[in-house]
Amino acid sequence: MALIAFDRRDAAAFEATRHLGGEALDGWREAITRYLDPQPGMCLLDLGSGTGSWSQAFRAWWPATDVLAVEPSVAMRERAVVTGALAGDAADIPVDDASVDAVWISTVIHHIPDLPVAAREIRRVLKPGAPVLIRSVFPGRHAGITLCHFWPEAVTALNDNYPTVATVEAAFATAGFTVVGLDPITQISAPSPWEAATGLRREAHTLLQLISDDAYARGAERFRVAARSATGPLVDVLDLLVLR
């Protein structure tokens, strides 16, 4: 069971505020292609695709590649910006054995309740030697995450609820995977801190839903105060963990 429900309110907030702009996507495209060389006819699985922003980007970048979006939440699939999103989750992926050339998992790994089971299912659908690319924030590697600066309670929620890199590595090792890369990726999350602070929707962020209402309100005020005098874009640093 995921850490939050992903109802229609969550899906609407996610669609409205979590789709990255071009510069942020460019950085991730460069990072992904260090481990994956998309070719015509390849199949890329976007597992836990949410409202489909990554599937949309992959289809735009690599139009000759088959991109499959799989998402368990009905509300997220209803809000998807791509067509054909399939119902499914990491324990039950609706694709054939050895049919996928890469699996992309973006800010989803903490919602998977049984990582060894997921690892075995991902191993089943992947072709031999194909990569799993996991975009996430991990405990102990959160220094570049804006939310963790203004909501210290979010750090506690992160440590209590999100798997560490070592936990993911150990779980996937049970299915024969090994880590081949762990890269911090800098992204522009918003044009400015003020735009991010005034447009923030709590429902779009799991860590903010895991803290108390009072903690959220205090952090939101700290963020708005700091954002008034901040200049330049809002930058975050997430990890790309890659296994084969």
pLDDT, residue 115, reads 98
* Mean pLDDT over the full length of the chain: 95
pLDDT, residue 125, reads 98
Q: Which candidate, 205, 233, 227, places its Cα nearest to that of 147? A: 205
pLDDT, residue 5, reads 77
pLDDT tier for residue 1 given thresholds of 50, 70 and 90: low
Angle of the 115-125 helix axis to the 165-173 helix axis, nearest 10:
60
Secondary structure string (H, E, C) spanning the chain: CCCCCCCHHHHHHHHHHCCCCHHHHHHHHHHHCCCCCCCCCCEEEEECCCCCHHHHHHHHHCCCCEEEEECCCHHHHHCCCCCCCECCECCECCCCCCCECEEEEECCHHHCCCHHHHHHHHHHHECCCCCEEEEECCCCCCCCCHHHHHCHHHHHHHHHHCCCHHHHHHHHHCCCCCEEEEEEEEEEEECCHHHHHHHCCHHHCHHHHCCCHHHHHHHHHHHHHHHHHCCCCEEEEEEEEEEC
pLDDT, residue 66, reads 97
Q: Answer whether residue 138 shows pLDDT above 80.
A: yes
pLDDT tier for residue 4 given thresholds of 50, 70 and 90: confident
Q: Answer whether residue 23 shows pLDDT above 90.
A: no
Q: Write the pLDDT tens digit of every residue in 176-222.
A: 999 999 999 999 999 999 999 999 999 999 999 999 999 999 999 99
CATH, domain 8-138+162-187+237-243, list 3.40.50.150, 3.40.50.300, 3.40.50.2000, 3.60.20.10: 3.40.50.150
| Amino acid at position 137, single letter | V
Instruction: Please calculate the CA angle 67-84-74 and round it to the nearest 5 degrees.
Output: 115
Q: What is the mean pLDDT of residues 7-12?
A: 86
pLDDT above 70 covers a percentage of the chain that reads: 100
Q: Which candidate, 149, 147, 181, 189, places its Cα nearest to that of 165? A: 181
pLDDT, residue 14, reads 84
Instruction: Please calculate the CA angle 162-44-127 and round it to the nearest 5 degrees.
Output: 95
For the chain, the structural domain boundaries read: 8-138+162-187+237-243
pLDDT tier for residue 6 given thresholds of 50, 70 and 90: confident
pTM of the model: 0.95
Q: Measured between alpha carbons, how far is 65 from 78 in angstroms, rounded to an integer?
A: 24
